[in-house]
Amino acid sequence: MPTVEVKISDVERIAKTYISYEELEKYLAKLKCELVEVRGDKLIYEASYDRPDLFSAEGLGRALRNLVGREEGFKELPIKDSEVEVITSNKPSYRPYVLGAVVKGLNLDDESISQLFQLQEKIHFSYCGDRALVAIGIHDFSQVKPPIYYKAVSEFTFKPLGYEYLMSIKEILNTVDKGVKYKHLVREGEYPLLIDSTGTVLSMPPIINSEYTRITPNTKEVFIDITGTELELMFRIMNLVIGALVERGENVEVFKVKVVDGSNIIWSPRYHPKVVELRLSNIRRLVGIELTQDEVVKCLKTSGFNVRSVSGEAFFVSVPPYRIDVMQEVDLIEEVAIAYGYERITSDLIPPTHPGGIHPLERLSKLVKDLMIGLGYSEVVNFMLTDSEFLEVLGINNYVVLENPKMKAYSAVRSSLIPSLLQSVKTNLPYSKNIRLFEVGDVVNLSNNLASSLRKVGVVASAEDVTLTDMLVVLKSLMYVLGVKYSLRKCVNPMMISGRCGEVVVGDLTIGVVGEIHPRILNYLEITMPVAVMELDISAILSLINSEVLRTSPSN
């Protein structure tokens, strides 16, 4: 969950009310956030990934304004016309889209500027693939002379943000922190630039803005640029940024920008509410509570929504443009339940339909966990979702891909525990030079376009003297206790060093793999010590163990 840092005084300014510590704790829970720390005027909290509108003080203050009753619903903001154009001229082929918007009437200070930058970076990391899919730029519009051109150049010189002297693009990519970090996102000789009619550079997306259009406390109007590869995602990200900016002034105005892409014309932003139908019977069916029309309307307004009309049991609800997480009726039902209060919903104990008992797979999994802990390994628990790009780097190409992932980091369902364990090694490497971890968890196997769930155990060891032998010792110990006779067979595995890996075979059945990770992958992950891994199919082992072994195993 993204960690957000705000000033309580700034949040109270936006919420238009004083908020006590107890109220903060209560209301943050209602917003699916977790209070981390309050120190003086500083508030640190963790926001849910599905509430990006809460990644800065603007969104939190706005939500609290509704919860404490200072405001009902949200103010629907008309989008005004303008003459501002963005013209795509010789645009970069690999990053073809650009959107723009102008926001005027702002009243900024150092803290509000800091919050806008925080929002920008949190969105970049959580929703934009760390700028690979979408990048955000915010500029002082008083320094810009439209039309604005989005083009690809082979070289150019300008002052990058934070520097007072001219630098070439290649210098920026090789010496400036942001340039070094994100230069892999641009192609040599085809660098994206946003330039106004006077030749002033606004930014080199997705790398860095220019110093010429820096936002300061004197800035009253801004130009927002959104560039990337996913047009619909870009529109949603634009709405998040505008939603934050409109909280920074009493009479903020938003203006359209015309994007001219050859013969295609795109108008942005699309900052208009979406209307979703909500039915009273579906609230009753999913949440199990009886609410009146007035109670539902109150819950919706407390959550920051407007109710356009009510017809019978149907509510037609206006969803704010910045609530990009609300897509359908079930999302509104969740909001009603949160506003009503989960603590007020009584629970009913469902009568059992059969005698209870520990499933043999869970019994065996517990035994394996106990054995691994006894061997000196620490247990980790990772997500079932992982990064499809990372799987491709490892040479894993048989996995389930999510059709519409929220984040690139969770775009595929894991078919092996090894990728997650390697990430765990990378995360823990700065804190220990002797890492020994294991995970017992489910993976999804894809065969003949059919997906099936399997239980596996993955083991990883990393230290200066770790070799294949370390994993063979673990394998021998596990199989001895489980009473399974096995053999090893040479194999070729793209993750592992040739000649230093093998398949674990029982009879004619391959139930696992063991080996040393290839240096190519260690370099990719920036792991500086050798790594040995093992993975066994617990589901397959269960079918090989007779019931007598299970009944007499230590887990009983």
The DSSP element (H or E) to which 547 belongs, if any, is helix 547-552
Rounded to the nearest integer, the mean pLDDT of the chain is: 91
Taking only the tens place, the pLDDT of each residue in 45-87 is: 999 998 999 999 999 999 999 998 888 889 999 999 999 999 9
Other Cβ atoms within 10 Å of 435 Cβ, number: 23
Q: Given this model, what pLDDT does residue 547 score?
A: 41
Q: Given this model, what pLDDT does residue 555 score?
A: 37
Provide the token pair at 426: 């990378």
For domain 274-342, is the CATH number 1.20.1280.50?
no
Decide if pLDDT at 446 tops 90.
no
Please tell me the class of the 3-67 domain. alpha beta
Taking only the tens place, the pLDDT of each residue in 13-26 is: 999 999 888 889 89
Q: Distances in Å between the alpha carbon of 371 and those of 17, 458, 468, 477? A: 56, 13, 19, 9
Residue 102 CA to residue 154 CA, distance in Å, equals 29
Q: Given this model, what pLDDT does residue 245 score?
A: 96
Q: Which is it for the CA torsion 91, 92, 97, 98, positive or negative? A: negative
Taking only the tens place, the pLDDT of each residue in 325-368 is: 999 999 999 999 999 988 888 887 777 777 778 889 999 999 99
Q: Given this model, what pLDDT does residue 546 score?
A: 56
Residue 212 main-chain phi, psi, to 5 deg: -60, -35
Options 3.40.50.850, 3.30.930.10, 3.60.20.10, 3.40.50.1000; which CATH number does 360-552 get?
3.30.930.10
Q: Which of 52, 39, 1, 124 is nearest to 321 (CA)?
A: 52
Give the residue-averaged pLDDT of 280-301: 92
Residue 210 CA to residue 166 CA, distance in Å, equals 10
Given a contact cutoff of 8 angstroms between Cβ atoms, the answer to whether 181 and 130 are in contact is: no
Equal CATH topology for 79-268 and 274-342: no
Decide if pLDDT at 549 tops 80.
no
Decide if pLDDT at 258 tops 80.
yes
Task: Give the burial string for 461-487 (b: 16+ CB within 10 Å, else e).
Answer: bbbeebebebbbebbeebbebbebebe
Taking only the tens place, the pLDDT of each residue in 165-224 is: 999 999 999 999 999 999 999 999 999 999 999 999 999 999 999 999 999 999 999 999
Residues forming beta bridges with residue 279, ordered by sequence position: 314
Q: Given this model, what pLDDT does residue 544 score?
A: 84
* In this structure, CATH architecture of domain 79-268: 3-Layer(bba) Sandwich (3.50)
Provide the token pair at 87: 């013209």
Q: Given this model, what pLDDT does residue 401 score?
A: 87
Q: Which is it for the CA torsion 549, 553, 555, 556, positive or negative? A: positive
Q: Given this model, what pLDDT does residue 1 score?
A: 82
Decide if pLDDT at 551 tops 60.
no
Residue 386 CA to residue 417 CA, distance in Å, equals 10
Give the residue-averaged pLDDT of 371-381: 95
Give the residue-averaged pLDDT of 307-331: 93
- Give the domain ranges of the chain: 3-67, 79-268, 274-342, 360-552
**What stretches of 333-434 adopt beta strand conformation (E)?**
378-379, 385-386, 400-401, 412-413
Q: Which of 153, 150, 547 is nearest to 364 (CA)?
A: 547
- Which is higher by pLDDT, 320 or 344? 320
